[in-house]
Chains A and B, each alone.
Chain A
């Protein structure tokens, strides 16, 4: 089966996110009411063949731990769907 894995990589909570702050500032300049928070991360979309969703997720998790995210500064979140 073919799966589409969406990897969302976000700066770790508690670490300064200057990009998020800059975007938040821009949004307030545009006149939006005050925002609770804005954070900027990265999205990576991976298409792969796997026996089932579990296998696809396990493989993507391994990729995240080894290269797609740096655990010192980033957390990641996976969404798997059949495509």
Chain B
């Protein structure tokens, strides 16, 4: 059975929706406490949104040093899927598992609203359910979402197809992110960080299922990667 671990740091607040979104695809989804030193056998790690450690110093800067992050690093290094959502994306950047950083929104305001995004990379464990160029409307809710990186890094991300999610246009860019970047992946494609919150748009009950594909993709990934002996 697909096992999904949802990291829990003090100060995060999106773990329940994230856990439920994972349960909706039939996964055995469990929380992993930030002081744990193992992932409890999780096949996939989700780092939810919120304000880990109150965003003190910089968003994600303190969470990076939590004991569990060593296990996340090992998991990622061996090709295990990791998705960071919002604060999770900030943590992955601070942990240098993804390049670049997320700075204060250009208009200084916390922005909470749906934004139009385009899926630009579907060859990841979290976006395979989408087609390249597919438009989504996803909720965002952040004060520090302006993606920045040096020009060499930006060129590399574009050349290697590592921009996973992009705001649909300059007018849709809610935070001043460089190149309208809303989400990126690592070189291996197994570590993905996105600012929008797909877990808030994964159930018809809340009016949108545009984000559901981020989770159904995980089930597809697992079906392809589980040991042959378990394949029916």
**A residues lining the B interface (CB < 8 Å):** 11, 15-16, 18-19, 22, 67-68, 70, 72-73
Query: Is B101 in contact with A72, judged by CB distance below 8 angstroms?
Result: yes
Query: Is B61 in contact with A72, judged by CB distance below 8 angstroms?
Result: no
Within 8 A of A (CB), among B72-105: 93-94, 99-101, 103-105
Query: Is B148 in contact with A73, judged by CB distance below 8 angstroms?
Result: yes
B58 at the interface (CB under 8 A from A): yes
Cα distance, A11 to B150, chains bound together (Å): 13
Query: Is A67 in contact with B104, judged by CB distance below 8 angstroms?
Result: no
B107 at the interface (CB under 8 A from A): yes
* Main SS at interface, chain A: mixed
Chain A contacts for B149, CB-based, 8 A? 72
B57 at the interface (CB under 8 A from A): yes
Contact partner of A22 (CB less than 8 A), chosen from B99, B108, B148, is: B108
Cα distance, A55 to B146, chains bound together (Å): 36
Query: Is A16 in contact with B176, judged by CB distance below 8 angstroms?
Result: yes
Give me 30 A-to-B residue pairs in the complex whose CB atoms sit less than 8 angstroms apart, sorted by A's number. A11-B103, A15-B103, A16-B103, A16-B146, A16-B176, A18-B104, A18-B105, A18-B106, A18-B108, A18-B176, A19-B104, A19-B108, A22-B108, A67-B57, A67-B61, A67-B65, A68-B57, A70-B58, A70-B61, A70-B94, A70-B101, A72-B99, A72-B100, A72-B101, A72-B148, A72-B149, A72-B150, A73-B101, A73-B103, A73-B148
| Chain B min CB distance to A56 (Å) | 21
Closest 10 A/B residue pairs (Cβ): A72-B101, A73-B101, A18-B108, A18-B106, A70-B101, A73-B103, A73-B148, A70-B58, A18-B104, A22-B108
Chain A contacts for B107, CB-based, 8 A? 18
